[in-house]
Amino acid sequence: MSLTNLEVVGVIGAGTMGHGVAQVCAQAGFEVLLYDVTPGAVAEGVRRIDRNLSVGVEKGKVTAAEREAALGRLKGVASLDALAPAGLVIECAPERLELKQSLFRALSAVVSPDAVLASNTSSLSLTEIAAAATGPHRVVGLHFFNPVHLMKLLEVVQALQTSASTVETVKAFGAALKKELIIVRDSPGFASSRLGVALGLEAIRMLEEGVGSAADIDRAMELGYGHPMGPLKLGDLVGLDVRLAIAEYLYAETGSPTFRPPQLLKKMVRAGKLGKKSGEGFYSYPTE
């Protein structure tokens, strides 16, 4: 699949990342098919896209006509089979290897043999995900950042099996989305999560030890190191369940104590304090 004949993009998962990925694809002119297994999730994703675009119009970043056109290119679908016309599918399902492998196995049989299959995984082995697909050369990591419509970076992750032509296609696709690309080889946590999660987990350990308040630990990085957002606030934004899943995987994969999940993180997830999406994490959030 080359970019010139790529018209339809499929997105699996309409949660924190999936709705954002669907939005930027629709804004870039692609027809988007959005699928989620949870009842109501697609409708909620479309509602969030509608709201993001309305804010864009209010701020003068998007015209009303562009908003309408993007929404017109977006279609929710009720089954994986409905993604058949897609030349590129971007999987944004939860961070679990077996789940992603089963989705890629099923997807391989649904889309055309030259369709590109991408995962938005933050840390998992693309090589292992690709191994589950038919035609593993067309599997690649497309790691977007949250919120997708505002964050410039797109980390392209090459599995051991990824072909050069697949990389060329996704480079052109990333450019069409107006993202800045980095290209990395498959390795636990890639470039971004390996560094970002190390910092985030250390901040949680510091909070556990009583080094400072969440706000002061965050301010150390914001004001002292010029980070736009401190590591605890960022954890809340990402979702503490997502952070924990990544930490558990990186710890199992590398054995490095840097990635051992702190007790506080585990307890917060067990208590349903998942950050912004649940209304409470290291900070409290009014319901959206």
Binding site for ligand NAD (CB under 6 A): 12-18, 35-38, 41, 92-95, 99, 103, 120-122, 143-146, 238-239, 242
Q: Provide, rounded to whole angstroms, the least separation between the CB of residue 94 and ligand NAD.
A: 5
Q: Which CB atom, from 50 or from 66, has the smaller least distance to ligand NAD?
A: 50
Residue closer to ligand NAD (CB basis): 13 or 56: 13
Q: Please, what is the minimum distance in Å from the beta carbon of residue 277 to ligand NAD? A: 7
Closer CB to ligand NAD, residue 36 or residue 162?
36
Tell me how far, at minimum, the Cβ of 158 lies from ligand NAD, in Å.
17
- CB closer to ligand NAD, 69 vs 82: 82
CA within 13 Å, CB half, 163: 13
Nearer to ligand NAD, 29 or 104 (CB): 104
Instruction: Give min distance, CB of 154 to ligand NAD, in A.
Output: 11
* Residues 172, 3 contacting (CB under 8 angstroms): yes
Rounded to the nearest whole angstrom, what is the least distance from the CB of residue 141 to ligand NAD in the complex? 10
Q: Which is nearer to ligand NAD, 36 or 218 (CB)?
A: 36
* Beta carbon of residue 2, minimum distance to ligand NAD (angstroms, whole number): 26
Minimum CB–partner distance for residue 32 and ligand NAD (Å): 15
Closest CB to ligand NAD among residues 30, 144: 144
3-class SS letters over the chain: CCHHHCCEEEEECCCHHHHHHHHHHHHCCCEEEEECCCCCHHHHHHHHHHHHHHHHHHCCCCCHHHHHHHHHCEEEECCHHHHCCCCEEEECCCCCHHHHHHHHHHHHHHCCCCCEEEECCCCCCHHHHHHCCCCHHHEEEEECCCCCCCCCEEEEEECCCCCHHHHHHHHHHHHHCCCEEEEEECCCCCCHHHHHHHHHHHHHHHHHHCCCCHHHHHHHHHHHCCCCCCHHHHHHHHCHHHHHHHHHHHHHHHCCHHHCCCHHHHHHHHCCCCEHHHCECCCECCCC
Angle at 76 between CA 16 and CA 235, to 5 degrees: 0
Q: Residue with CB nearest ligand NAD?
A: 15
CA distance to 115, 266, 272, per residue, from 241 (Å): 31, 8, 9
Q: How far is the CB of 169 from ligand NAD (least distance, A)?
A: 20
Nearer to ligand NAD, 21 or 116 (CB): 21
